[in-house]
């Protein structure tokens, strides 16, 4: 039996609380899932590390993580540090350093969760949002001149490469092809942004020819927000740029009941490097240390990690346990309950053992 080595980075705010809950349910799972052996190494990187060392992770951090099978990540962001410093110093460094170009965000209404809108119930909303995760608006290309002067200039250039767009389109079409409805919606803003977004449209149409079984359409991102709210049933798999998909997936999480349940997989499909699994949510400093963070997004992300690592049965067992708990409680305050992180974690561990 291969021991799968998991690097655990809690990072900031509620991040360490939810990843420790994740490690607990994964450990409970190893006791019930034959053939699953996990070893966890924790790395104390993030904003506290920055305050002590002047950087979010060590210089050789990527080399340290490279031999791991996967990374379980918490959240980054600290109210006392600039958000761009903390994000680029850790989370984006890992995503871009390991070329985790496919950010996969499944969204559905879990049993027992009451969504905010009547027409976005369990039968209406079952999506996978595929976020381009390596370039676009997050290419990090730009600069500032004449800082602080009235003539100050800042540029932020979105970079779209044929190779980058083609690989995320193929990835998204493959996901759409693997789902029962075989539907893909390509989101851009190609009426106003005449270069990169038009390239997205063109490559979308080219790649579509490789997937004749998939029905696809395209939407402008502004109209897409309306469609997600008013016609959720018309959507299945969605592909969008780094920034657009970031925003759409937060909307999706809210429509499905809470950002506290929404998972992410940052995948390097070539498997040259470890992929990284994390809740969509950030560090939520307003509730950090109160013991009430919802650990379910991390559990769902951990289930995606198990699937990626070749343990679909264990992944299924974990999600079944999560769904038993969302259906019957206990639930954390973001889902209308009064339970703590600890109580939800214990309930999921008990459901795994049942
Ligand atoms: N666990 C996700 C996380 O820490 N997100 C922090 C954040 O600010 N992310 C920005 C982004 O994903 O674009």
Q: Where are the alpha helices (DSSP H) in the chain?
A: 15-30, 47-53, 61-65, 83-86, 92-97, 162-178, 196-208, 221-230, 242-255, 296-308, 312-328, 341-353
CA of 235 to the centre of ligand 1 (A): 24
Domains and CATH numbers, the chain: 1-106+259-354 (3.40.718.10), 115-145+152-256 (3.40.718.10)
pLDDT, tens digit, 9 for 90 and up, residues 101-148: 999 999 999 999 999 998 888 999 999 999 999 999 999 999 999 999
- The answer, yes or no, to whether residue 351 has pLDDT greater than 90, is yes
Is the Cβ–Cβ distance between 294 and 332 less than 8 Å?
yes
Nearest 5°: phi and psi at 216? Answer: -135, 155
SS3 283: coil
Considering the chain, what percentage of its residues have pLDDT values greater than 90? 97
pLDDT digits (tens, 9 = 90+) for 240-265: 999 999 999 999 999 999 999 999 99
C-alpha–C-alpha distance, residues 157 and 221, integer Å: 19
Average pLDDT of the segment spanning 49-68: 98
pLDDT exceeds cutoff 90 at 1: no
Report CA(77)–ligand 1 centroid distance (Å).
Answer: 8
Q: How many other CB atoms are there within 10 angstroms of residue 188's CB atom? A: 23
- For residue 34, the model assigns a pLDDT of 86
Contact 344, 335 (CB under 8 A): no
Q: Which residues line ligand 1 (CB under 6 A)?
A: 75-77, 87, 91, 246, 278-282
Residues 49-63: what's their mean pLDDT?
98
Is 68 designated active site?
no
Please give the C-alpha separations between residue 277 and each of 213, 241, 290, in angstroms, as whole numbers.
30, 19, 24
Bridge partners of 156? Answer: 142
307 classed as catalytic: no
Confidence of residue 33 (pLDDT cuts 50, 70, 90): confident
Q: Which of 10, 75, 136 to mutate to test the pocket of ligand 1 (most atoms within 8 A of CB)?
A: 75
In the set 12, 138, 268, 334, the catalytic residue is 138
Q: What percent of the chain has pLDDT over 70?
A: 100
Query: Poorest-confidence range of 118-127, 208-217, 292-301?
Result: 118-127
pLDDT of residue 119: 86
pLDDT surpassing 90 at residue 287: yes
Distance (Å, whole) CA 48 – CA 78: 9
Residue 290 known to be catalytic: no
Report which protein residue has its CA nearest ligand 1's atom 11. 246
246 is catalytic: yes
């Amino acid at each position: 039996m291969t021991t799968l080595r998991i690097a655990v980075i809690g990072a900031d705010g509620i991040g360490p609380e939810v990843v420790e809950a994740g490690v607990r349910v994964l450990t409970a799972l190893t006791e019930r899932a034959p053939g699953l052996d996990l070893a966890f190494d924790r790395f104390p990187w993030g904003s506290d590390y920055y305050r002590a060392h002047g950087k979010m992770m060590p210089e050789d951090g990527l080399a340290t993580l490279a031999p791991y099978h996967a990374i379980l990540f918490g959240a980054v962001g600290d109210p006392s540090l600039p958000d761009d410093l903390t994000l680029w110093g850790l989370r984006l460094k890992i995503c871009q350093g390991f070329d985790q170009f496919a950010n996969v965000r499944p969204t559905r209404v879990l049993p027992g969760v009451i969504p905010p809108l009547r027409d976005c119930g369990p039968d209406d909303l079952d999506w996978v949002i595929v976020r381009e995760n390596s370039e676009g608006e997050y290419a990090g290309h730009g600069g500032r001149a004449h800082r602080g002067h009235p003539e100050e200039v800042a540029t932020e250039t979105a970079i779209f490469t044929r190779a980058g767009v083609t690989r995320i389109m193929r990835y998204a079409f493959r996901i759409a092809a693997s789902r029962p409805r075989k539907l893909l919606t390509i989101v851009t803003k190609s009426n106003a942004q005449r270069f990169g977004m038009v390239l997205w449209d063109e490559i979308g149409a080219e790649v579509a020819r490789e997937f004749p079984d998939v029905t696809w359409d395209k939407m402008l991102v502004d109209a897409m927000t309306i469609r997600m709210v008013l016609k959720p049933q018309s959507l299945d798999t969605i592909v969008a740029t780094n920034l657009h998909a970031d925003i759409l997936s937060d909307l999706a999480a809210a429509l499905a009941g809470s950002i506290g349940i929404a998972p992410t997989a940052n995948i390097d499909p070539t498997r040259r490097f470890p992929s990284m699994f994390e809740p969509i949510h950030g560090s939520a400093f307003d509730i950090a240390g109160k013991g009430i963070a919802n650990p379910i997004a991390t559990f769902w992300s951990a289930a995606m990690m198990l699937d990626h690592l070749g343990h679909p049965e264990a992944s299924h067992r974990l999600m079944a346990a999560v769904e038993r708990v969302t259906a019957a409680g206990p639930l954390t305050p973001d889902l209308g309950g009064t339970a703590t992180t600890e109580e939800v974690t214990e309930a999921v561990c008990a459901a795994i053992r049942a």
